[in-house]
């Protein structure tokens, strides 16, 4: 079950999305989303721990995993149990460790430029989705604005995405993604550093740190 969940997590971060733009855009929601996106683009670097819970429609408690993410522009480093993904803007390394077996698959980032990545969650609303401001709620003294994105195409792998943005800071605090099979992923940041000093080397896989490893180069 653990491997099953991890596979779904990676698919979430590596799934194509597309669509034709229509006029069904809520200007109030766009103002919130633009503010969130502009703040993200102005960050020196972001580093956070998060929890992701997958609900399959049968288990009300869901299945939870913890992870870490670092983002700097179009670069990112995603860390999950037994798996890490590095993207330095040019190359993507997908490292998997299972017992004593280790492998890394290498791809050109340009081959995957149309896919949903950890950094593009801040801009995905700009293509292929309609959006509306659902409302506001207060949690632990913090006002959150809830934005619902709906796919413009019925064939999209994720039909509905909900974002919760802190009203005062414009920080993305949590989001949910629903797939076309009725499954639901909920991501929630637990600790966030929006001024992280991240060297470019942090986003490049170094095989010397991992010992004996099988390398699958698909470039």
Q: Which domain holds residue 63?
A: 2-217
- Measure the CA–CA gap between 200 and 168, rounded to whole angstroms: 30
* Half-sphere exposure (Cβ direction) of 196: Cα atoms closer than 13 Å: 20
Nearest to 125 by CA among 21, 16, 8: 21
pLDDT reported for residue 55 = 85
pLDDT tens figures, 82-113:
899 999 989 999 999 988 899 999 999 887 65
Res. 116 pLDDT band, cuts 50 70 90 = low
Q: How many separate domains does the chain show?
A: 1
What number is the average pLDDT over the span 23-34?
90
Query: What's the whole-model pTM score?
Result: 0.75
Both tokens of 92, joined, read: 């993507």
Going along the chain, which residue ranges are E strands?
Answer: 15-16, 46-55, 63-72, 75-80, 83-87, 91-98, 101-108, 115-116, 129-139, 142-151, 158-166, 172-179, 184-193, 214-217
Dihedral, CA atoms, 92, 98, 102, 105, nearest 10 degrees? -30
What number is the average pLDDT over the span 131-137?
95
Res. 157 pLDDT band, cuts 50 70 90 = low
What number is the average pLDDT over the span 116-133?
84
Res. 4 pLDDT band, cuts 50 70 90 = very low
Supply the CATH number for residue 171's domain.
2.50.20.10
Are residues 197 and 72 in contact, defined by beta-carbon separation less than 8 angstroms?
Answer: no
* Half-sphere exposure (Cβ direction) of 84: Cα atoms closer than 13 Å: 19
DSSP per-residue string spanning 144-159: EEEEEEEESSTT-SEE
Are residues 57 and 182 in contact, defined by beta-carbon separation less than 8 angstroms?
Answer: yes
How far apart, in Å, are the Cα atoms of 32 and each of 50, 167, 171? Answer: 22, 8, 10
Nearest to 11 by CA among 78, 111, 63: 78
Tell me the pairing of strands 214-217 and 101-108. parallel
Using DSSP, state whether 203 is helix, strand or coil.
Answer: helix
Res. 217 pLDDT band, cuts 50 70 90 = very high
pLDDT reported for residue 12 = 45
């Amino acid at each position: 079950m653990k491997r099953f969940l991890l596979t779904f997590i990676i698919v979430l971060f590596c799934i194509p999305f597309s669509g034709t733009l229509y006029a069904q855009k809520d200007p109030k929601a766009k103002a919130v989303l633009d503010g969130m996106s502009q703040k993200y683009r102005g960050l020196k670097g972001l580093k956070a721990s998060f929890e992701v819970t997958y609900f399959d429609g049968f288990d009300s408690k869901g299945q939870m995993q913890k992870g870490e993410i670092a983002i700097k522009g179009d670069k990112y480093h995603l860390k999950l149990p037994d798996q890490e993904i590095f993207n330095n803007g040019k190359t993507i390394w997908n490292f998997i460790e299972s017992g004593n077996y280790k492998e890394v698959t290498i791809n050109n980032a340009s081959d995957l430029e149309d896919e949903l990545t950890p950094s593009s969650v801040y801009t995905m609303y700009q293509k292929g989705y309609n959006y509306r401001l659902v409302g506001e709620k207060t949690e632990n003294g913090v006002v959150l604005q809830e934005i619902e994105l709906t796919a413009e195409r019925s064939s999209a792998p994720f039909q509905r995405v909900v974002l919760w943005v802190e009203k005062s800071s414009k920080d993305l605090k949590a989001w949910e993604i629903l797939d076309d099979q009725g499954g639901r992923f909920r991501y929630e940041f637990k600790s966030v550093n929006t001024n992280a000093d991240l060297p470019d080397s942090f986003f490049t896989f170094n095989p010397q740190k991992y010992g004996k490893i099988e390398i699958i180069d698909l470039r």
